[in-house]
Structure 1
Amino acid sequence: MKMKKKLWNIFGPVLLAGLLVFIAFFVANQFTTVNKATEKRAAVSLSTNVYKGSIVKSQALKDGYVPFFGSSELSRMDPFHPSALAKKYHRNYQPFLLGNPGTQSLSHLIQMQGMKQQLKNKKVVFIISPQWFTKQGQSPQAYSLYNSPIGTTQWLLHAHDSQMTRYTAKRILAMNENSNSGAAHRALINLASGKKVTKTQLMQLNVEATMLNSEDKLFSSFVSGKREAKIDGNQNKLPKQDNFKMLTKSANQMAAKATDDNPFGISNNFFNHRLAKGNKLAKLQGSQSHFNYLQSPEYADFELVLAQFAKWNVDPIFVITPVNQKWMKYTGLSNDMYQKADQKIKYQLNSQGFNHVVDLSKDGGKKYFMEDTIHLGWNGWLAMDQKVSPFLQTKQNQPTYQIQDKFLSKEWQQAE
């Protein structure tokens, strides 16, 4: 009896924990649903779990939400933010925001694998910043933070050998240099070298996919409503009519009050809390004179996204963002370099059939266009809305793409 008691004391808690996990996953698979309230919260939550997951995004897209891919600019939620405008004026689309500081092309490529069926033949908005195109490109730390195991597993389960596949596998491995175990890692090594994923690896990946999807279902409804409340509050500050002239007047009035206490014409709150403290502002003067966005692995990562859009027949509209012109001058960031990077991005898009491009790169000096040093606000959001809203609300001609592997090359990544 004593031996049985000892064995139970050792293994009992483990068995109970395993049983509880099994029950939790069983309940999640059987009873978890994504209701409309969860979709509304998730659409503007910018939740990392939602971004990395699948079930909430997939259900929302089925119900008509439109993906807005981007990064930190999506969190600048003034009253003229796309989500506030769409909600206030009952447009026939509602943005589903997908991005955070540090999310770039490779992060987006992987997380979108979990909503493949919902993206096929649909429109999307893709906000891209030339500032993604640094010498390093995607930060491994940021990639790790936003890495979607569900997306990675789905990509591996459907991967076939090609130049795109080999390059993608190598890039994912480079982002996870400290990981050297597991079926996913072994499968990535195979694909990177042009080999197939083995039957054993596929079996293990399918088991992992089942577990990951169950976990996603279990936690999918836990989404904060903080940003939804902010959007609701902001839309109440907008004019009753969806009229550009009235919206511009309102934007100018709000922005004038919000930017009257700093030399850059940006949000006083941002200036006082992020720049004016200590000696930070003085240290930043001339600090970006050496920046170069023309040579970067991000150009090839971006190409992976374009190839995926083409394969799924997605119709995207791209928005290229500016930098506050006064800030650019203060930090020494080269406008000539910035415009060349903009032209390089547009060439990569247009030469492959991606012709819906909203180029705002030259507008950083316009009044009340930028909320802070690098992010759209007030009139910036309205300028974007003038192009994006008609694109989403009217039928577009079927795009024809000509994907070119040359945009994966080192030559293109380094071309100036």
Structure 2
Amino acid sequence: MKKAIFSPLIAAVLVVIIVFTIPNQWIESMIPKQRVAQAATELNPVMFQGKYIQQQMLDDQHYLPMYGSSELSRLDKFHPSNYFQETGAPFTPFLVGRGGTESLIHFLNFSEHIDQLKGRKIVFIISPQWFQRTGTDESHFVPNYSSLQGYDLAFNKNVDPKVKKMAIKRLLRFTPVKKDPMLSTLYKAEIHHDPWTQGKAMIVRPFALIYRNMLTKKDLYYSLAGGSPSSREISSVVRNKSWNELENLANQEGARLSTNNRFYVSNYQYNKMRKSVPFLKGKKRHMTYGKGLEYHDFQLVLDVLKESGAKPLFISIPCNGFWYDYTGFPKEGRAAYYNRIRNQVLKMGFPIADFSKHEYDPYFLKDTIHIGWKGWVYTDRAIKDFYNGVKNPKDEIIWPTNL
């Protein structure tokens, strides 16, 4: 009887030991070569929170990394993933981000790959709704936080110590970090130099390193297993079209799909929010995106990209002026955001495609906050000119004076 009880337990222990003693190189050799290509549009959180797939992607100059949040999942025919594939571009956009992936999460990701970003062109899409007064909250941070990236930051010697300390102070406010006894101890040792804290960190460090190695191996197994196929729209209609022709097509598409409301929101999205619309009228009179902790977190992103030597293009998405006016959100509170974010990016010596003047441009957005249709056309043009080094005034990229 005892043998029957303990045999499965012993077998399970042996399996775990085998799984975690297999050399990483063996696992990597089994990961299919096409895994990175598959991941380019999968928008798989496992990939965002790991590092192997992104390492392979950044080592391949064929990919143009695009970082953002939920707008990346609006995969229509004008989306960069379709446009650049169908028009034979020399690069493939690689999408990194989902809903709630805000500045602090992107900072952790960039820190993870800081040694691979030098000279690398990337695209970073900024969304106004990140910039709430209180900054990102638990509901957005927790689902997108990566323990592996958190531990790698603790052992990272490549990030500027001043930037690292500022980031750690912010990270220690969030549950997954402050409730992790090993990681929080290591983090506290970075910002407090008393003997007690340093002593605890010295004891914890070897165990934390073992745990970090386990997380790295776990990421390799997830990479081996793969994700799920993306459901993006593939359409050749964008081929051999001028920008004016593409804009007209986008207007037609938006008009066809947005017929049941006056906010130029797609019928599908408006049907989901229809019941709450009457209650939201005038409810945001005291709102602003011009102040808040997110600017501090966004500066961490700018700092780590500057230190890495990356070459980013930032894209500033506008608000839906029709909807924001309806909710009473002051224009001043939106203008303050556009101005502040533009100046923050330019001050760091990076270009920004500023689309703020498109607040009242029908079909530039697909709903109240997400870019779509015409907005993607403008984004495609900005990305193409940025990639080719063309300074075209029509694409609305503002270049810093030192470039």
- Whether TM-score is above 0.5 comes out as yes
CA distance in 1, matches of 2:339, 2:182: 41
CA distance in 1, matches of 2:44, 2:290: 31
Give the CA deviation at 1:118: 2.7
Give the CA deviation at 1:174: 0.3
Question: Identity, % of aligned pairs?
Answer: 29
- TM-aligned CA distance change 1:78 to 1:181, over 3 Å: closer
SS in 2 for 1:125: strand
CA distance in 1, matches of 2:211, 2:177: 20
- TM-aligned CA distance change 1:161 to 1:266, over 3 Å: closer
- TM-aligned CA distance change 1:372 to 1:181, over 3 Å: closer
Instruction: Tell me how large the CA RMSD over aligned residues is.
Output: 2.6
2:353 to 337, 350, 358: 358
Residue 121 of structure 1: aligned partner: 119
Residue 345 of structure 1: aligned partner: 341
Residue 95 of structure 1: aligned partner: 93
Residue 285 of structure 1: aligned partner: 281
Correspondence list, 1:13-412, <5 A: 13-27=8-22, 29=24, 30-32=26-28, 33-63=30-60, 64-159=62-157, 162-176=161-175, 179-193=178-192, 198-227=201-230, 229-231=231-233, 233=234, 235-236=235-236, 238-272=237-271, 274-276=272-274, 279-354=275-350, 356-394=351-389
For 1:140-190, what per-residue CA distance to the aligned partner results, in whole angstroms no more than 9, with x for missing partners? Answer: 232111111221111110257843222211111101278434321210111
CA distance in 2, matches of 1:47, 1:326: 33
Give the AA of the match of 2:232.
K
On the 8 A contact 2:365/2:372 being kept in 1, the answer is: yes
CA distance in 2, matches of 1:163, 1:112: 16
Give the CA deviation at 1:27: 4.9
On the 8 A contact 1:161/1:194 being kept in 2, the answer is: no
Give the CA deviation at 1:103: 1.0
SS in 2 for 1:230: coil
- TM-aligned CA distance change 1:161 to 1:118, over 3 Å: closer
- TM-aligned CA distance change 1:173 to 1:130, over 3 Å: same
CA distance in 2, matches of 1:191, 1:11: 44
CA distance in 1, matches of 2:370, 2:378: 13
Which runs of 5 or more structure 1 residues have no equivalent in the other structure? 403-416
For 1:332-375, what per-residue CA distance to the aligned partner results, in whole angstroms no more than 9, with x for missing partners? Answer: 11112111111111222222222x10111220211221111111
On the 8 A contact 2:323/2:368 being kept in 1, the answer is: yes
CA distance in 1, matches of 2:181, 2:4: 30
Give the AA of the match of 2:356.
S
On the 8 A contact 1:114/1:154 being kept in 2, the answer is: yes
Residue 410 of structure 1: aligned partner: none
- Could you tell me the TM-score, scaled by structure 2's length? 0.88
Segment of structure 1 superposing worse, 135-144 or 191-200 = 191-200
Give the CA deviation at 1:12: 4.7
- Could you tell me the TM-score, scaled by structure 1's length? 0.85
Give the CA deviation at 1:68: 1.0
Which runs of 5 or more structure 2 residues have no equivalent in the other structure? 392-398
Give the AA of the match of 1:250.
L
- TM-aligned CA distance change 1:314 to 1:330, over 3 Å: same
CA distance in 2, matches of 1:82, 1:393: 15
For 1:222-276, what per-residue CA distance to the aligned partner results, in whole angstroms no more than 9, with x for missing partners? Answer: 444442x424x3x33x23315312322322222221112221122111111x222
On the 8 A contact 1:325/1:364 being kept in 2, the answer is: yes
